[in-house]
Amino acid sequence: MAYKPGDKIEVKLDDEILSGTFVPSPESRDDILILKLSSGYNQVIIKTKIKSISLIEKVKPSKKKISTIQQNSSLPKITLLHTGGTIAARIDYKLGAVLSGFITAEELLSLYPDLGKLANVSCRMVSNIASEDMRFGHYNMILEAIKEEIANGAEAIIIPHGTDMMHYTAAALAFGLDNLTTPILLVGSQRSSDRGSSDAYPNLMSAVYFATASDFGGVGICMHYSPSDDICSVIPAFNSRKMHTSRRDAFRPIGRKPYALVNWLDKEIKIISRSYPKKNRQTSVLIKKFDEGLKIGFLKAHPNMYAAEVSAYKNFDGLIIEGTGLGHFPNVKADGLTAENNRIFLSVEKLVSSGAIVFMSPQTIYGRIQMNVYTPLRRIREIGVLGHLSDMTSETAFIKMAYLLSNYTKDEARQMMEQNLKGEISFRLEPEEFLN
């Protein structure tokens, strides 16, 4: 028998009987059952130890009435493509847990009645999962939904999304959408919507205001600019990062300027950089999907590496290596203790020869790869490791490789990895773009 969160159940074990409220366990842990006991503590039970479960009392359905937004058809038509994440989560105080699955698209819309003052809003559920659970197939679902909504007349699309992997999705959409002149903004929150310190409301309102009031027509991320609630920033889809685990102003563009600062309450938009596609009414957006079967790995340079770390990716289509400094990676036998380094070099060479694309990105976060300065870097470039002169973050490089391998031949993908296709590689780092 399936139980719903909030049901009171009795669990019989070999040596005891426990009763409490059923709490959903993480999707990745289908081997456990969680009970909230009368003491308020959660009890984790391994399912193989359970003899029987019986229902004591079913949870009573909520009678909370969902309010609706008063729509104004004369305002810009926007679509909220709901994908999940903390911005769509709330705390169930009875269960003592943050739950995203309890909020439907309609509930999310009802949380923000002021949206009706800015736009004619519709809402569509694409998925309802944590962003760390997303796979390439979810990108394809979002791409399809965007294409359909634009064809149906949406003048802007706002995507509520989990923050942990939001910069990956933003890059995937920017690569996967061609001929785009409709604003697509991903927006998230570090705190759930029902918390007093939640950043969900200003982030979402700022995204909608910027999308409807500016000439922006590309893909971007809208999040807090500072810890306070007054200003949000709109930053590029490429080479942006979540720089803090919990701060509300966690997102920063790397080696780029924000597109704009937005204060939706005062109806102010300060444009910082106009290096974005401009808005234009058109419905012929093209999408390029991701191959859901691709295998692309990450490997971070570190002391005391082993060749086995590289050979672990022998059956992968590609590998992103985060190199130190200008792109350094242990590959030279320098003394009696570094014989393994040459074996690492041979493993990389074998991986490249097998057909995998190996790309170097900077572990330093800021700056670019330069493979012509030091001999060890020239050595790995000569065997086919790519990345020379690139300043892409490893996350953007990962998504770019997946996009290219999904839509082009491997030879074409190799050539295009080091080319600037859509602004993912910059030519110069301005002083104000470092740690800004």
Best CA proximity match to 393, nearest among 238, 231, 188, 199: 238
C-beta of residue 321 within 8 angstroms of C-beta of residue 301: yes
* Selected catalytic residue, list 36, 147, 242, 400: 242
Which of 37, 30, 28 is closest to 94 using CA atoms? 37
The phi and psi torsions of 180 (rounded to 5 degrees) equal: -80, 125
CB 9 within 8 A of CB 55: yes
324 is catalytic: no
| 6 alpha carbon, distance to own chain's centre | 30
Question: From CA 433, how far away is CA 428, in angstroms rounded?
Answer: 10
375 part of the active site: no
Longest dimension (CA), the chain: 75
Alpha carbons 243 and 116: distance in angstroms, whole number? 32
For residue 404, the surrounding DSSP H or E stretch is: helix 394-407
Given 21, 79, 83, 86, which residue is catalytic?
86
Residue 362 phi, psi (nearest 5): -80, 125
From 21, 79, 83, 163, the catalytic residue: 163
Catalytic site includes residue 242: yes
Q: Which of 7, 92, 133, 164 is catalytic?
A: 164
Contacts of 411 (CB under 8 A, 6+ apart): none
CA atoms within 13 A on the CB side of 387: 37
Can 164 be counted among the known catalytic residues?
A: yes
Chain-centroid distance of CA 194 in Å reads 22
**Tokens 């040459």 -> residue:** 342
Question: In whole angstroms, what is the distance from residue 85 CA to residue 187 CA?
Answer: 10
Query: Alpha helices, DSSP H only, in 88-165?
Result: 105-110, 136-151
Residues belonging to the active site? 86, 163-164, 242
